[in-house]
Chain A
């Protein structure tokens, strides 16, 4: 659920085919900067009812999914 949603959001915001986005995809490869990450964090907060602050360590799609899943399980 979290994974599908995040990949769909990334595909839409970066105009990329969802099939090309994997867990190892780096945000820098998608041309995503820190403000894009903040925008996505706000959308994820609304979508999943969590409070989420992006950090430089969360630099791949997989790490983002893991971080959001942890928050939604809490």
Chain B
């Protein structure tokens, strides 16, 4: 017994920043960003905190599912760019939407939304009385970018995505992989001002080694999808859609090529939002659903990878 996705929602802040806008800030241009990353514009928060965006996506998902905050049994959220470490983004969202259920946050960087689904499945198994769990990925990544580093600041965007999960049979299988401590991608914390502490730390922004990240991401997608297909005796023809983490269109295209998959089966919307970390998969899933191309009963693979290093893929029946 696991769950079905009965509602989805997303929110991005109104300000859209184009590649030409970024060319005014760092030495870059539209052609370079479009070709290397696949982003045309991203939304950047001017006056909304991470949890506000998370709450707006959450409310949209509740409305879509036709339920209310008081119907929820648990809220699980993820973020690497929350405005507070404590209260967690899950707790802040609980407060903002007027829910009273338990809430907690977890960290698996860009792969986190999938880890939320896995955790929700575990809660449904543990608490037989739970019928409805809200999962939210929310990010104000613009707050943890080095805006002088043209290799990272052009990639990311702010936003939030959410889903309402109701007890059901739609979560079929999952594969989780962690390579702990690998710092190909890292976001150091502010080290503090202790007069006793002597170690130095990199700046508290996203640091990413491009080529290594690319290699890791393509390998992760390829091996996770292959594992899910083989383990469930499926072929790619049985899968209606693959919804990958929107990190870089080149990663998605090359993974599709290596897997021998029609690139049209990979849902892509990075051109509009950039990489929104934990929000990217729920935003993409929501847009796929809203496009009318996703049908009830379709088998879908979600896959994500990111800092940690953490990657995961899951097979669902919508």
- A41 CB-CB contact with B under 8 Å: yes
Q: Please, which residues of chain A bring their CB within 8 A of the CB of B212? A: 53
Contact indicator A42/B258 (Cβ below 8 Å): yes
Contact indicator A38/B36 (Cβ below 8 Å): no
Contact indicator B211/A34 (Cβ below 8 Å): yes
Contact indicator B215/A41 (Cβ below 8 Å): yes
- A29 CB-CB contact with B under 8 Å: no
Q: Please, which residues of chain B bring their CB within 8 A of the CB of A39? A: 218, 250, 254
Which A residues between 4 and 53 are near B, CB-CB below 8 angstroms? 33-35, 37-39, 41-42, 53
- With most chain B CB atoms within 10 A of its CB, the pick from A33, A34, A38, A54 is A38
Nearest to B32 among chain A residues (CB) is A33
The range of chain A's interface size is: 10 to 19
Q: Main secondary structure on chain B at its contact with chain A?
A: helix
Contact indicator B36/A42 (Cβ below 8 Å): no
- With most chain B CB atoms within 10 A of its CB, the pick from A37, A39, A53, A54 is A39
A53 CA to B258 CA, complexed, in Å: 18
Can you sample 14 A-B contacts with CB below 8 Å?
A: A33-B35, A33-B36, A34-B211, A35-B36, A35-B210, A35-B214, A38-B214, A39-B250, A41-B215, A42-B215, A42-B218, A42-B219, A53-B211, A53-B212
Binding site for A on B (CB under 8 A): 35-36, 210-212, 214-215, 218-219, 250, 254, 258
